[in-house]
Amino acid sequence: MGVLPPIALSLLGLSLAAWGCEARASQQALPPDALGPGALSLDVVAAPQDEVSFGGPTPAGVVQHDPLREASGLVASRAHPGVLWTHNDSGDGPHLYALTTDGRHLGVFTLSGAEARDWEDLAIGPGPDAGVDYLYAGDIGDNDSQHDVKYVYRVAEPAVSTDQAPSVTSLTGVSRIALRYPGAPSDAETLLVDPLTGDLYVVTKRSTDASVYRAAAPISTADIIEMERSGTLSLPSVPGLPAAGQGAVGGDIAPSGLEVLLKTYTAVYYWRRGSAAEALFARPYQALPYVPEPQGEAIAWAADGSGYFTLSEERQSIPATLYFYPRQRTP
């Protein structure tokens, strides 16, 4: 977890008071010899802002569960309408929290046998059993870049209903996926699972030049997976903010598999692709609406693709609030 100091938060608010800021970035291709086998070169420029349109933000509700104070990952259930999943940042146990799209608490779900060194993001996608949605908890945070192996915990999504009383449940059948970067260890807060291919992606944080790593499906749980470095995303920087706090802090792939979101503390970026055969970040990106939050590290597509949610950690006595950005136009 990287916490922005108060002065940085103030500068953030001053720099991005208007969420429709026209930030621009380019993506850089890595030298061929720096990429793994089958890696995809990411050499694109910013897209026009009129390709897709989202409004907002609309406050959806305040999180109504006191222990959930450092929300870091967020996904929407595909199988259980109106249910969101999230987790705390470092310092909590291996717990997932279910809540409604207006913040009402539905339950705490503990992953049996898992550890929580520094959980930073949550993804949802396919797994070993066809037709089953799996939750992927990314223990990928590493502020000091000291851990050689990172872990992702995978478990079949349990059944949850928006009208149930809050429950406490222990989840079994948890698999541990071990990941290693091809070079030195890195800090990351973005985990993505491609719903079309089952590939797993990690995007590093500590620079606006974010490295993208891929573990190709099928995902092994027997051996350490050596991830392939598939490219670099050069994200825009905000003057006056620490460089280490301007990288990617969360992301999500739409249920269709054709739209991707990444967020920093100050902005949200959108990519589109035409099919599973096309790389996630091959096309020009678009900056989307976003009003900076106190410590906003979580973003998720709505289950029907009708917009996206954001959620912040609690900071300076500001409660954790869900915000929704509704889709207004599709290209």
287 membership: H or E segment, kind and range: strand 286-288
**Sequence-separated (6 or more) residues with CB below 8 Å from residue 201:** 190, 191, 192, 193, 194, 212, 213, 214, 215, 230, 280
Tokens at 69, concatenated: 């104070």
In contact, 201 and 280? CB cutoff 8 Å: yes
pTM to 2 decimal places? 0.86
Tokens at 311, concatenated: 């959620």
In degrees rounded to 5, what are phi and psi of residue 83?
-105, 135
CA distance 322 to 103: 7
Domain range 26-329, CATH architecture: 6 Propeller (2.120)
Segment 210-236 mean pLDDT? 94
Tokens at 48, concatenated: 């026009």
Beta bridge pairs of residue 210:
233
CA distance 235 to 270: 12
Give the amino acid at 80: H
CA distance 252 to 222: 26
Please, what is the average pLDDT of the chain? 85
The runs of H, that is alpha helices, within the chain are: 6-15
pLDDT tens for each residue of 91-131: 899 999 999 999 999 999 999 999 999 999 999 999 999 99
Tokens at 197, concatenated: 């291919």
Between 209 and 193, the higher pLDDT residue: 193
As a whole-number percent, the residues of the chain with pLDDT over 90 amount to: 68
User: What pLDDT does residue 243 have?
Assistant: 75
Tokens at 261, concatenated: 């979101």
Tokens at 52, concatenated: 């897709």
What is the three-class DSSP state of 126? coil
User: What pLDDT does residue 84 have?
Assistant: 98
- Domain spans in the chain, listed from the N-terminal domain onward: 26-329
Tokens at 164, concatenated: 């149930």
Environment class of residue 278 by beta-carbon count within 10 Å: exposed (0-12), middle (13-18) or buried (19+)?
A: middle
CA distance 136 to 193: 8
Between strands 26-28 and 209-215, the pairing is unpaired
Give the lowest-confidence range in 39-48, 121-130, 150-159: 39-48
